[in-house]
Amino acid sequence: MIPFGSANGAPVSLHTIRGPKGLRAAITPFGARLVQLWVPDPAGTLADIVLGHDTAQDYLDHPTYFGATCGRYANRIAGGQFVLDGADFQLDQNEGSNHLHGGHAGFDKMHWQIADLGPAHITLTATSADRDMGYPGLCAMTTTYRFTDTGTLTIDMSATTTRPTVINMVNHAYFNLAGHGAGSVLGHHLQVSAGHYTPVGPGLLTTGEILSVAETPFDFRTDRTLSAAMGQDPALAGSYDHNWCLSDPLDGDGLRPCARLKDPASGRSLTLRTNQPGVQIYASGQMHRAFPGKEGRAYHRFAGLTLETQVFPGSPNHPHFPAARLDPGQTYAHRMAFTFGV
């Protein structure tokens, strides 16, 4: 443990967990956040492949959700409104008139508690009060980061509630396999196991449609570079910030293939599996100004790519989307499994 500054007047710490082959990750309880992720290249040279900041206060000063556990409902809900069991709920409106990533005081702004810490794992817990940011039910949450013996990094997010509610927790790490300050990810190769996506309209709000990716810039069923795919459609000049609907069934481990990301320049790759039905991919195209990052680096447009496994955006208002409902006695359980290669 090392000091990581303070946030909202409370001290913040940083904790390192380790895996085989030099893999290591640094996590802070502030936002249950992944701050560093060190991964080797083919020569064994390590690089930190996630964007972030050097102190906790920097995350407040430059709100980009780098590495955070987001919720109660990550992604967007139009008007911040939904109906549950006939009751209307108005959520915090923190992106214009809409609700994004749990509101202005979502899970990413919380000081989580360390429930368990070992050489290869850390478990963090927090609670969200009934009507916190407008949501019904007292919610108890857990996030665990763990390296397996084979070098897979798993992120497990879970929650329970005292009243029927909606939940969609995500990990919001931005990846750049060349290193967090190495520049653009547009040369990265991406493959996504998805035959459909959910288009968006004004305000990046999902329209409720589910469309085929065939013959569109959203077709990553085979390996493509981000730049080549975006070049198909001038409307994507703002880059990807969309949900893909994962196609493959769950396997014996309860996970399905999600995405594979490769960087030809560094030789690093990552493969992601999840138990969730969708993944939000954001290529940081809306970062129209430089953000100060770790080690004095500046992060510009297209500096990183998110892979936020999730239920679909706006699910509480689209009954044909996967359900985000959580009832008392149930446990929300979300797993991501990252495998790193060269």
Amino acid at 139: C
Amino acid at 84: L
The token pair that represents 211 in the structure block:
């469309």
Q: Is the pLDDT of residue 238 over 90?
A: no
Any idea which residues carry the catalytic annotation?
A: 172, 308
CA distance 39 to 19: 10
List pLDDT tens digits, range 284-339: 988 878 889 999 999 999 999 999 999 999 999 999 999 999 999 999 999 999 99
Q: Is the pLDDT of residue 53 over 80?
A: yes
Q: Is the pLDDT of residue 8 over 80?
A: yes
pLDDT of residue 11: 95
Mean pLDDT of 122-136: 98
Q: How many structural domains does the chain have?
A: 1
Mean pLDDT of 211-230: 94
Res. 236 pLDDT band, cuts 50 70 90: confident
CATH at residue 204: 2.70.98.10
Is 179 within 8 Å of 49 (Cβ atoms)? yes
Is 44 within 8 Å of 286 (Cβ atoms)? no
pLDDT of residue 161: 98
pLDDT of residue 286: 85
pLDDT of residue 81: 98
Q: What domain range is 119 assigned to? A: 2-341
Average pLDDT, the chain: 96
Q: What is the DSSP string of 44-76?
A: --EEE-B---SSHHHHHHS-S-TT-EE-SB-SE
| CA dist list (Å): 32 to 90, 125, 323 | 26, 8, 25
Best CA proximity match to 137, nearest among 79, 80, 95, 85: 85
- Asked if residue 72 has a cis previous peptide bond (ω within 30° of 0), the answer is yes
Is 84 within 8 Å of 136 (Cβ atoms)? yes
The token pair that represents 194 in the structure block:
């998805």
Mean pLDDT of 227-247: 85
